[in-house]
Chains A and B, each alone.
Chain A
Amino acid sequence: MAPRPSPALTFDLAAKCPTTKARAATMHLPHGSVQLPMFMPVATQASLKGLTPKQLEETGCKLCLNNTYHLGLKPGQKTLDAVGGAHKLQSWPYNILTDSGGFQMVSLLKLAQVTEEGVRFLSPHDGSPMLLTPEHSISLQNSIGSDIMMQLDDVIATTSPDLARIKEAMYRSIRWLDRCIAAHQKPESQNLFCIIQGGLDLELRKECCKEMVARDTPGIAIGGLSGGEAKTEFCKVVDTCTSLFPTHKPRYVMGVGYPEDILVCVALGADMFDCVWPTRTARFGNAITDTGEHNLRHAKFADDFGPVDENCKCMICRLPSEGGLGITRAYIYHTAAKETVGAHLLSIHNVHYLLDMMRQVREAIIEGKYPGFLKAYYWRRYAGDKEKYPSWAVEALRGVGVDLMIDD
């Protein structure tokens, strides 16, 4: 059955990798078009950790995340309604994706309890009991006005040994999806994505895919991952799910942000990724580069006058003669954790790094060279030492026809 065209999202497939399941596409959203596959930086509380919207735009970002839970606390729904939504609040002219708030119930609140009606939790302000229902989550996201909103799902750690609870959560997530769809007031301007649950149990995941795909949301997310599970299991879930998804819809793997994880997930057929890691790690003085993460607070960088990343073309790394700032590793060492400017600079670099990596990924897919791109990336990352390649990545990529161990 051909999917029903959705009023607020058009998905144009540009190319498919002839070897892997990777795809390149353009997704048209209410606040402009974005290129898939893509990474989305996380502006948790309507700001990307110290960067102005102009700086964020300069990294190439056209779609960032806001967190419903955080915006629900501050500034709160009344204010969001009065201001006219999150785009207006933060003066961000491009797209916004919001999560449902459910993940924070698990990640931030020890005392959250899930019942059929919703998630009960204690207010972080005064400790009074509160309830987040699917209806309320959608109502908040309608107030936020995000271009892509996520259903409230019953999130439990993938590492949970309680299969009955995982199964319950999966079926509850389907029921909650129906409540979210029913509660959604603005399908003409906001897209509601479903979230596939089911832990690491592939049969549960398949069942969830079948049920949720039938609901025909404009896009599909795979949730409940990147919670510390084995990477091999993680890859199996992504691979299994994408095989059951319709071609002409965006697929979003939630909470994935490490370059190597993203590259594998793209090969497994996923299109969208988000993570707080690039900005969080920047605040700890870590720079993301082709050769991995480097902590520039380490004393060995005090006298290192090279750019943060030799190959990078971001505002921070480009020389003044190339229109950039020519910031050195030594200067980041000098400011990291001492002036917030140091974190701002590294955040710009790190976000740019991931967005630029995705541009290269897309180009490689379109040119039919994604397998070669993968091999070159891993080669650089591990300085040619194949012994160090993570076995989960090697195995997962073998499954889609790319053997990192064999040079072209």
Chain B
Amino acid sequence: MGIEGENHSQVSDDMFSILKSPSAGIGPRLGRLSIPGRHTIETPHYLGITSRGAIPHISQDTFARDAHIQGVYVPLEDFIERAPERVPPLYLYKAPDGASPLRRYIALPDQSLLVLGARRCPPVAAPAANSNTDQTVSVSTNVGFKLLHAQDYREAVEKLDADILVALGDIQYGRTLGSKRITKAVDRNIDWLQDHIAARNAQPSKSTRAKLFASLLPVSCDNQKYWVEYLADDAVKHISGLALYDSCTLADMPQQLRHLPVLGFTLPETPHEVLRQVGLGMDVTTIPFITYATDAGIALDFTFPSPESNDSNEVSPRALGVDMWPEVHATDLSPFKEGCQCYACTNHHRAFIQHLLAAKEMLGWVLIQIHNHHTMDLFFAAIRESIRNETFDRDVKEFARVYESQLPAKTGKGPRVRGYQFKSEGPGEPKKNTAPFQVRDKSSGEGNPLMNDANAQQLENQGFAEKTG
């Protein structure tokens, strides 16, 4: 399998440098992702996950000022509702200063790393069992599932000037792949990547160019041997990294690909799982549980490898987060976490957050979201420190000993659920969002309950609308 125009496209990869790698076999590693003009990202690290161009709840000005998220992942499917019948507005947009149209469109600060891929993270699984074809991938848009052509994808994303592009892959979500399906997916991936690289090489003059990451299938490398061999032998010169959809792919990654940064879309559900994947060599990952926790009203509360406090009365194992719904927080003027330097903890207290959740005020989720991302910033900084000190394995064990294995259960109601967050079950499914209140109707009452026997003094004594339950 050859690649046209090879001479144009040697990827000069000074973008990613490995600072520390395991002495033998598989293990955690330290790296540095540097793209001119962006934050230099020390790895392992994570990317914030956007929805329609923003980290849920965090408006762009707050993102720039009060969050310290270094880079974000943006899915193209959020922007292409009526393509190809109608050209998506994003494709028509030209930034006034010639900057990346996508970056300006979503008002992402210049320093933030911008990674663009096809599907949301996590993606809504396509309704059909075989939703992808030799030319198309099923994507979930605002107006339902649509087919995204591989050619349309590569042409569009090349124009949007992201920093990192995740090449289109035939990734089946939520299904185990049989060997035939894997063979088919490998063929498609090779075709699509070949075409993408050829298209890039046909336009060698482009001054700034996104770094291309190839998508591996969510199976072990051994199970997608031809694809891995193709990448190692032919494509490696033209790609700058790998996107992974299952951590099992990391375990038998061949040496020829190990110099590439690995970007995970592996949907870890706990910090323990994040640690496990870092232990396999994951460099940059995406973590849906940050926003899950936020929507559940849970402020993440963990420190790697264990909390700094030496309080011997601590219960063990400790919870990974604090559910902010219970009334015990109602008069608590302490921050989510003592000493936390995030915007929420330095400006607000638990009593306010509890009030905001109970009152269903959107600011509650804004503040928790800021804190939860900050918690992950510190978590990854501590992971890197631990790898640097060669205490990672021991620290992971300590973390597992100290903390519960799962995030706290959700007790309160989250914000309104949106269509792109769940798979529709078809007609007749119950409403996902309940009405917040109902108007009492005079006609339905029996008599007038206002003028019942309770006298004014009694009512006065019981206070004004104190909650009873």
Task: Mark A residues whose CB is within 8 Å of B.
Answer: 45-55, 58, 69-70, 72-79, 82-83, 88-91, 101, 109-113, 117-118, 120-133, 136, 140, 302-303, 305, 315-316, 319-321, 325-328, 330-331, 333-335, 338-345, 348
Q: Are A47 and B53 within 8 A (Cβ)?
A: no
- With a CB–CB cut-off of 8 A, which chain A residues contact B54? 335, 339, 341
Chain A interface main SS type = mixed
- With A52-B366, A110-B440 known as contacts, the answer to whether A341 contacts B107 (CB < 8 A) is no
A-B contact pairs, 17 of them (CB 8 A): A46-B355, A49-B363, A50-B57, A50-B366, A54-B343, A113-B450, A120-B459, A122-B449, A122-B450, A125-B468, A303-B92, A319-B97, A330-B105, A331-B53, A334-B52, A335-B53, A339-B56
Q: Could you say which of B132-140, B206-214, B225-233, B346-354 contacts chain A?
A: B346-354
Task: Mark B residues whose CB is within 8 Å of A.
Answer: 51-54, 56-62, 64-66, 79, 89, 92-94, 96-97, 99, 104-107, 110, 142, 330-331, 333, 343, 347-349, 351-352, 354-356, 358-359, 361-367, 415, 418, 437, 439-442, 445, 448-452, 454, 456, 459-460, 462-469
- Please tell me which one of the listed residues A72, A83, A122, A335 contacts residue B333 in the complex, with CB atoms under 8 A apart: A83
Q: Are B362 and A50 within 8 A (Cβ)?
A: yes
Q: Are B459 and A338 within 8 A (Cβ)?
A: no
**A127–B449 alpha-carbon span in the complex (Å):** 9
**A389–B62 alpha-carbon span in the complex (Å):** 39
Among B60, B142, B367, chain A packs the most CB atoms within 10 A around the CB of B60
**A303–B87 alpha-carbon span in the complex (Å):** 10
- With a CB–CB cut-off of 8 A, which chain B residues contact A343? 362
Q: Are A338 and B351 within 8 A (Cβ)?
A: no
- With A46-B355, A331-B106 known as contacts, the answer to whether A91 contacts B348 (CB < 8 A) is yes
Q: Are B347 and A54 within 8 A (Cβ)?
A: yes
**A403–B288 alpha-carbon span in the complex (Å):** 60
Q: Are A74 and B452 within 8 A (Cβ)?
A: no
- With A315-B61, A331-B53 known as contacts, the answer to whether A125 contacts B445 (CB < 8 A) is no
- With a CB–CB cut-off of 8 A, which chain A residues contact B449? 111, 122, 127, 129
What residue in chain B is nearest A109 (Cβ atoms)? B440
- With A75-B330, A83-B331, A120-B450 known as contacts, the answer to whether A341 contacts B361 (CB < 8 A) is no
- With a CB–CB cut-off of 8 A, which chain B residues contact A109? 440
Q: Are B363 and A338 within 8 A (Cβ)?
A: no
- With a CB–CB cut-off of 8 A, which chain B residues contact A340? 56-57, 362, 365, 415
- Please tell me which one of the listed residues B60, B110, B452, B456 contacts residue A341 in the complex, with CB atoms under 8 A apart: B60
**A117–B58 alpha-carbon span in the complex (Å):** 46
What residue in chain A is nearest B461 (Cβ atoms)? A131
Q: Are B456 and A118 within 8 A (Cβ)?
A: yes
- Please tell me which one of the listed residues A48, A77, A303, A338 contacts residue B463 in the complex, with CB atoms under 8 A apart: A77
Among B107, B110, B365, B468, chain A packs the most CB atoms within 10 A around the CB of B107
- With A75-B351, A79-B331, A320-B104 known as contacts, the answer to whether A341 contacts B96 (CB < 8 A) is no
